[in-house]
Amino acid sequence: QVRLVESGGGSVQAGGSLRLSCEISGRLASGIAMGWFRQAPGKEREFVAAISKSGRTTEYNDSVKGRFTLSRDNAKPLLYLQMSSLKPEDTAVYYCAANPTAYYVGPIRRDYTDWGQGTQVTVSS
């Protein structure tokens, strides 16, 4: 099991940028399958991006492709989500997720076993 703590959320205007971080701690913290999800008020939690243990494989929701970039530093270990050209529809609570037993998980929410508490991102028009 791992502990995940997100940070970096905040309020920005449309077109702005934010970088979210997810600090990973625990016995299996280094080099695990991870992802970001988000949940807007009244909506289901949806997939944003995923990355493999090595960082060589990434996958993005079509709605964020070209605007969001996922990266990781396994030495620290930290997971980053760089968000650019933000839109009001990106407003949500963003959650970091992990599966310590997998090389890569992808967009299926139930395949992730550990979750952070979330960080709020608000984009105003």
**Whole-number mean pLDDT of the chain?**
94
What is the model's pLDDT at position 77? 87
**Residues in the chain where the model's pLDDT stays below 50:** none
Tens digits of per-residue pLDDT, 11-38?
Answer: 999 999 999 999 998 866 667 899 999 9
What is the model's pLDDT at position 121? 98
Q: Which residues contact 110 (CB under 8 A, 6 or more apart)?
A: none
What is the model's pLDDT at position 28? 67
What is the model's pLDDT at position 30? 66
Give the E-state strand segments of the chain in sequence order.
3-7, 10-13, 18-25, 33-39, 46-51, 58-60, 68-73, 78-83, 92-99, 114-115, 119-124
